[in-house]
Structure 1
Amino acid sequence: MILSTFGAPALAQPGTPDVLIRLDERQMRAGAFELGRPEPESGPSEITLPGAVVVPPMQLRVIAAPAAGLLETLTVAPDEPVRRGQPVAQLRSTELVEAQRLFLQAVTAHDLAAEKLRRDEQLHRERVIAERRLITTRAEAIAAASALDERTQMLVLLGMGDPAVEELRQTRRIQPTLAVRSPVDGVVLTRGATAGERVAQAAPLLTIGDLHALWVNVQVPISRVPALEPGARVLIPAQGAEGTVLRIGRTADAPTQSVTAVAQITNGTEALRPGQAVTVAMELRRNGAPQFRVPAGAVVRHRERSWVFIRTPEGFRARPVTVLNETAQFTSLTGELSPSDQIATRGILALLGELSDGDAS
């Protein structure tokens, strides 16, 4: 376990000087220190963290009731794939009947206004009527056309497509029911209503999601955030899925002191399910500095920084390092180290106490 005076993760800051801890032979014997050497690491390092699979918000579509009425049937179930234009529900609505009646009324008024305009234009050419009457007739025709367009758009908002509207105009036959269709390809995630229920206008009926690409929300400890970057590779080994880091959050969760990183998964999504808990391996940034692996107990936290203790003839020298990854056994880090350095792996509490005492003096 990595020790800390504050109990919070820390990173070395550029320009932080070493701190010399002088120990005589008696103190060295009393400390029972054990020493080890940092092992060079090569290749990109990674960190393993828990995550949760979610559907990207732009890939979610909520199908709502276009009008208030009786939901006669729901033709799809959760987890069922649907195609664009596929009927997913049947709705019986008096609002739909009224909208169709007003539409037909607007069609009649438009046709009458158009006929009146045609007749008055003929009469005006024959100098039978005054121009003022023609102007009035034209205004009435424009108003009738606008009213018809408004009623047409109302039917479209209620879910009637252009072919259905044209059929209503030709046959003048009012339909009391409406087939609610899926606007996209996807999978039914949730149902918000049941057959036989009366629903209000805009009440959610179904939620459909496009699952070709998914997100994974990963809770990253604040100490690991500087080593992450957008575009880094992400693997979900158990499911064989992979993707990249999309973005890294700018706010921290107060109780856990973690930041949410969003990974976009594009390969292997068929093995993932929204809401599933997964273990994610995230690639860490390579900054070009030498990278080493040391025993986990060789690193301490102090003054919001990470430190290791290097053996010197005078005692030990506390040197700041940047922690990249931590496991129960080892810590990966970068810093001004070399494979020939001897670092303390046991007796850390005594050295940490000396380091703290040096701050207080």
Structure 2
Amino acid sequence: MARPAPAQPGTADVQIRLDERQFRAGGFELGRVEPETGPSEILLPGQVVVPPTQLRVIAAPAAGLIESLFVAPDERVRAGQAVARLRSTELVEAQRLFLEAATAAELAQEKLRRDEELFRERVIAERRLIVTRAEATGAAAALDERTQLLNLLGLTDPEVAELRRSRRIQQGLTVTSPVAGVVLGRAATPGERVAQAAPLMTIGDLSTLWVNIQVPLSRAPALEANARVLVPAQGAEGFVLRIGRTADAATQSVTAVAEMHRGADALRPGQAVTVALQLRANGMPQYRVPAGSVVRHRERSWVFIRTPTGFTARPVTVLNETAQFTSIRGGLAPTDQIATRGLLALLAELSEADGG
């Protein structure tokens, strides 16, 4: 077979020259290119997921024993609803230290008021007043620190104020949900001892869902952001939010993320679905060719068009594939004949032409 000619300037075609004798010896077979007038979309597999910004993990505010869990998986919760009850010795110790800090702050303020009065009467020196003011400021800062710690342990400002007024220490606390949503899973059980910040459950807002779509590399160029997406079986509709820039090494596919803004109630997180994606409208005609007549080389799809001097290797965009046919877009004509057999030899010539 003759050495292939390099691509012409401004094109990606590669010319592969061979005469009739070489054509017959190569055992090549040809197939027709058929125009397609069907809808410009492809069907691909996907999985329903919850957007990361709509997930909230509820963690144990303090180390302790889980007395009760008030909600079950898949149960809807309101913002502020009680979801768990926790008994904690850590919380008891934090309340004791808070009350000590509150007492110290009150004494420091009383001492400051007394020294200010004595200073006005010129009974004490100004230096003593300055020291007393510094002590009062330090005591107030220590009290604020203990207050913030109680807030981190799950006590609200009204509960902290009541603790300071009544000086009654509580042994447990009620954990509430900060958002409205659905319980997607529980990571703890009643009677279990947990550390501080250990996850208890996950709450998800399911008003809007995403679908992660696995797109083969050969079809990724035919997609674009904001393209329409349908989940026909569930009647959900949305649009392409973004198309991944990295490929999975095992599957050689990229992930396109679609946001479903209509009909999301019919979808479930984790559900496997088939989605229909609208293709990029680039004005190029669409054709159907026999299955197996499209080859992959250097992350592109190619067909070999019969010419009087041999074949022309031309890059195309794969739209859809079945067991019998492949739908493509590219610079073809309805009268073109393409190679359907002998592709390995032609692919070797193509690799040699571009040094691959």
TM class by smaller structure:
0.7 to 0.9
1:179-198 → structure 2 map (5 Å cutoff): 179-198=174-193
Map of 1:100 onto structure 2: 95
Unmatched 5+ stretches in structure 1? 1-12
The Cα shift of 1:162 comes to: 0.9
Aligned CA distance change for structure 1 residues 351 and 90 (closer, same or farther; 3 Å): closer
Q: 1:153-232 counterparts in 2 under 5 A? A: 153-232=148-227
Secondary structure of 1:129's match? Answer: coil
Match of 1:326 in 2: 320
Give the structure 2 partner of residue 151 of structure 1: 146
Q: Of 29, 33, 39, which aligns to 2:35?
A: 39
Structure 2 residue ranges without an equivalent (≥5): 1-8
| 1:27 positional shift | 5.9
Q: How many Å apart are 1:235 and its aligned residue?
A: 1.5
Cα pair distance change 1:264/1:169, threshold 3 Å? same
State the distance in 2 between where 1:32 and 1:17 align.
Answer: 20
Aligned pair count reads 344
**Residues 262 and 14 (structure 1), Cα distance of their counterparts in 2 relative to 1, 3 Å cut:** farther
Answer yes or no: is the 8 Å Cα contact 2:26–2:342 preserved in 1. Answer: no
Q: Distance in 1 between matches of 2:10 and 2:330?
A: 10
Partner residue in 1 for 2:4: none
Does residue 231 of structure 2 align to residue 236 of structure 1? yes
Matched, 1:15 2:7: no
- How large is the Cα RMSD of the aligned pairs? 2.8
2:43 alignment partner in structure 1: 48
8 A Cα contact 1:321 1:333, kept in partner: no
Partners of 2:12 and 2:315 within 8 A in 1: no
1:166-204 Cα shifts (integer Å, max 9, x gaps): 111222221111010111111111111111222222221
Q: For structure 1, which segment, 212-221 or 299-308, has the greater mean C-alpha deviation from structure 2 after superposition?
A: 299-308
Q: 1:79 maps to what in 2?
A: 74
- How many angstroms apart in 1 are the aligned matches of 2:286 and 2:55? 43
Identity percentage of aligned residues:
64
**TM-score normalised by L of structure 1:** 0.85
Higher RCO, 1 vs 2 (CA within 8 Å, ≥6 residues apart): 1
Letter in 1 for 2:345: G
Is the 1:21–1:354 Cα contact (8 Å) retained in structure 2?
no
In terms of mean alpha carbon deviation, does 55-64 or 70-79 score higher?
Answer: 55-64
1:348 aligns with 2:340: yes
User: Could you say if the C-alpha distance between residues 358 and 202 of structure 1 is closer, same or farther in structure 2, counting changes exceeding 3 Å?
Assistant: closer
The normalised TM-score by structure 2 is 0.86
C-alpha separation in 1, matches of 2:170 and 2:351? 84
CA distance in 1: counterparts of 2:300 and 2:169, whole angstroms: 75
Q: Any idea what SS the aligned residue of 1:239 has?
A: coil
